[in-house]
Structure 1
Amino acid sequence: MSKGYKITRTIILSVIVLLALLAFTLFTASGALKKAEYLDPWKRDYAKQFEDPRLQLVAHGLLAANSHNLQPWKIRLDQQNPLLFYLYTDSERLAPESDPLARQTLVSQGTFLEYMRIAGEQLGYPAEITLFPDGEYDEQHLSESMERKPVAKITLSKANPRRDPLYEFMFLPDTNRMAYRADEVTPAQIRKLSATDTEQDLILSFLNGNEDIKKFGVYGVEGTEIETGLQRMNDESARIFRSNEYQKNKYRFGFSFEGQGTTGWKKHLLQGLITLIPSLNNEEAAAKLAVQTARTAASHTPAYALVLSKDNSRTSQVKAGMLYSRLILAAHEEGLVMQPLSQVLEEYPEMREAYGRIHREYASPGETIQFLIRLGRPTRETPLSMRREAVDLIRE
């Protein structure tokens, strides 16, 4: 064996060892071997650990779609009546920069309530939901009002379980930001989805004409460009970004690489790199990725849906969220996925012109667009997102 061959083999072995050490370091930093406790609430038997039927329903409600995955829900259990409880907005889980009027936060209360309502029918504890039993918020003292006034009073009764076909789809991811297939959303599917709107003061419409698809795609990209171009918005998002498994298990809310559809070894590679070298997750790179994702989505969307309310009261916002939950579950039943395009509907000064333009085009005077939604068949599955424990929502 020649001396040169031995040297070459030694170099190759050294490179292999270094690469293995690098991979081990990255995957360790990512927490690749850590149990993903933040996914436990998605298990179908998760709610069964609770004897209290109220907690069983809460365990289902926390799977609902919600703004920024902040999970802004707080529950107070009545101490005298074991079938009575209240939902409050958690004023410590707001997004004041991107959602300064807390409209998206109140919509998120509705998504939670509807998941609980559906679960209640399925489990034999139908829920009577009374919105704002003590009146709507004092907008001049919003945070204080959120602490004092419940969004809803929920009264359960005991009945025979009644199968709800939408229940089975509660355990699927609620948002798919990937490209959708070119298949049309059929008239039969649109009729099925339209039936989810049971509120007289809400309007659900579907648009799949080429002109509307093009316009909505432009709005989606424009809203993303505006939002990601603002330092305070990027700072707000950065504060709730969880870069590895350790952080996801600790906080169990906010953003992560899964939201971009990143899974498997690639996810752990990125998590490890960002954990070891935080500067790699720089604002410019994140903004560029968000805009590119928005452009890809815009060119791969066969239909959109709009949810409008006839006013913009807190009650209407909550009802819009309840409708959204029914809509996403019915979409799953049809093999469809959805993504709400929230940016262009946000209410801060830099978005005012785009917000006004989309309302002039698609809403009548006095109406508010609560949701602009992409709709179609997925090209890729999307991962589940972080969820807190049900008991973490309980407050005295």
Structure 2
Amino acid sequence: MSNRKVKKTMVIIFSCAGALLIIIFASLLGISGIFEKPKYLDPWQKTYSQKFHDPRIRLVAHGLLSSNGHNMQPWKIRLDKNNPMVFYLYADSERLTSEVDPFARQMMVTQGTFLEYVNIAGDELGYQTAIDLFPDGGYNEQKLSESMKIKPVAKITITKTSPQSNPLYDFMFLPDTNRMAYMSTKVTFEQINHLKGVNADADMSIRIFQDRENMDKLNGYAMQGATIEAGVSRVMKESETIFRSNEYQKNKYRYGFSVEGQGTSGIMRHLAQGLITLFPSMNSGKAASDMFIQSTRTSVDNTPAYALIITKDNSRSSQIKSGMLYSKLVLTAHRLGLVMQPLSQVLEEYPEMKEPYSSIHHDYVPDGGTIQMLVRLGKPTKEVPQSMRRDVMNLIAGE
């Protein structure tokens, strides 16, 4: 074969290969849903709540943005039919993650994060919020799911007042969690004082560590917790079932996990979504477990500080109050140019986690108490995308 024919053949081969790659690339983008409008991001717009006339719904629209376990958004709202200034928050028992959170402790922390966002939004919108926890009494712990349906977590009464600027308000519209690597820069003494200063409750405390001994110890607990969780198939399966692999699923469900959780954005997000949609095994079984462990390893290797939120007891009210405190903590961190990520696997209460759970409590609360949150803290190296949020009207219970 002559050189001319060889060159012509190679051109044809490369042209065909290039065309095939373009077809594959375009197909992956289409499977991902690149042209689908991301309705699941609408609630993050500052103007979103303004669509609603009822001030209670406007406040709930802000609460919807708060940090929550597994991004389940497990909130249900009942508007008082007789008093337009009262509404009730219920824990949505249909959104329990019973494998990873068998005693619904994280669920109660999540109720608190919501309530604090409502508080902060109230300042800005001109409503004083009075929160009464468990106005109809506490849960029947032996029939927890049923009790959640009939007993509200909180009664919220609002009173019209003059709007006042809350310094944390603008930071509610930023992603609450950043799972990327953090800078090695230590948290300053002034920043630590600001962060600890958000707590005014004598029954709770915030402890911040960045010395080598405690960093090594807490890194170890974070990795131990992640490794155990990755090896418990029923827990990993629970997470797998709420993973949304493409834009169509994200718009349909608007809660759970997605590739954005690892900071993937832009075209790479759509390529990843297309591949996972075509090959679900990429995000299940051993592949998912290995990815989770590696992600945690990257996190702990790039963490300059940890924070603990500790309560004197583990009552339902204390769990809720710790969530309220966490919202203030993460928003204050944003204000200081810092970000956070919970690494609380070691605090979960299923049987396989019993040993490290007991050990971390022995090390950090030897005189009693409960560690409600373990979070990494530092300056971000990269901004992360916002996560899915449901339409606020989906939280409002029917008549």
- TM-score by shorter chain over 0.5: yes
Q: TM tier, shorter chain?
A: over 0.9
1:159-174 to structure 2, matched below 5 A, reads 159-174=161-176
2:120 to 110, 118, 121: 118
Report if the CA contact (8 A) 1:76-1:395 is conserved.
yes
1:385 paired residue number: 387
1:242 aligns with 2:282: no
1:324 to 318, 323, 326: 326
Aligned-pair Cα RMSD in Å: 1.1
1:12 paired residue number: 14
Amino acid of the structure 1 residue aligned with 2:75: W
Structure-2 separation of matches of 1:25 and 1:313: 52
Structure-1 separation of matches of 2:178 and 2:215: 18
TM-superposition CA deviations, 1:282-335 (whole Å, max 9, x none): 321111111111112112111111111111000000000000000000000000
Q: Secondary structure at the match of 1:157?
A: strand
2:295 to 288, 293, 296: 293
Q: Secondary structure at the match of 2:213?
A: helix
Deviation of 1:136 (Å): 1.3
List gaps (5 residues or longer) in structure 1.
Answer: none
Report if the CA contact (8 A) 1:75-1:88 is conserved.
yes
Structure-1 separation of matches of 2:292 and 2:337: 26
TM-superposition CA deviations, 1:138-175 (whole Å, max 9, x none): 10110111011100000000011000000010000101
- TM-score if structure 1 supplies the norm length? 0.98
1:315-394 to structure 2, matched below 5 A, reads 315-394=317-396
Structure-2 separation of matches of 1:338 and 1:300: 12
Structure-1 separation of matches of 2:15 and 2:63: 53
Deviation of 1:262 (Å): 1.1
Amino acid of the structure 1 residue aligned with 2:324: M
Report if the CA contact (8 A) 1:136-1:315 is conserved.
no
Structure-1 separation of matches of 2:188 and 2:291: 32
Structure-1 separation of matches of 2:319 and 2:266: 37
1:176 to 140, 161, 178: 178
1:252 aligns with 2:254: yes
Amino acid of the structure 2 residue aligned with 1:283: G
Indicate the larger mover: 68-77 or 8-17: 8-17
2:223 paired residue number: 221
Report if the CA contact (8 A) 2:282-2:288 is conserved.
no
Q: Secondary structure at the match of 1:75?
A: strand
Moved over 6 A (4+): none
2:74 paired residue number: 72
Structure-2 separation of matches of 1:366 and 1:344: 17
Identity %: 56
Indicate the larger mover: 132-141 or 293-302: 293-302
Structure-2 separation of matches of 1:214 and 1:265: 37
1:269 paired residue number: 271
TM-superposition CA deviations, 1:43-90 (whole Å, max 9, x none): 111111001000100000010000000000000000111110000000
Amino acid of the structure 1 residue aligned with 2:100: S
Q: Secondary structure at the match of 1:126?
A: strand
TM-superposition CA deviations, 1:110-148 (whole Å, max 9, x none): 000000010001100111111111111110110111011
2:29 to 27, 30, 38: 27
Deviation of 1:201 (Å): 1.2
Deviation of 1:266 (Å): 1.5
Deviation of 1:347 (Å): 0.3
Deviation of 1:279 (Å): 2.4
Report if the CA contact (8 A) 2:313-2:370 is conserved.
yes
List gaps (5 residues or longer) in structure 2.
Answer: none
Report if the CA contact (8 A) 1:179-1:379 is conserved.
yes
Indicate the larger mover: 213-222 or 287-296: 287-296
2:95 paired residue number: 93
Deviation of 1:277 (Å): 2.0
Report if the CA contact (8 A) 2:130-2:158 is conserved.
yes
1:122-137 to structure 2, matched below 5 A, reads 122-137=124-139
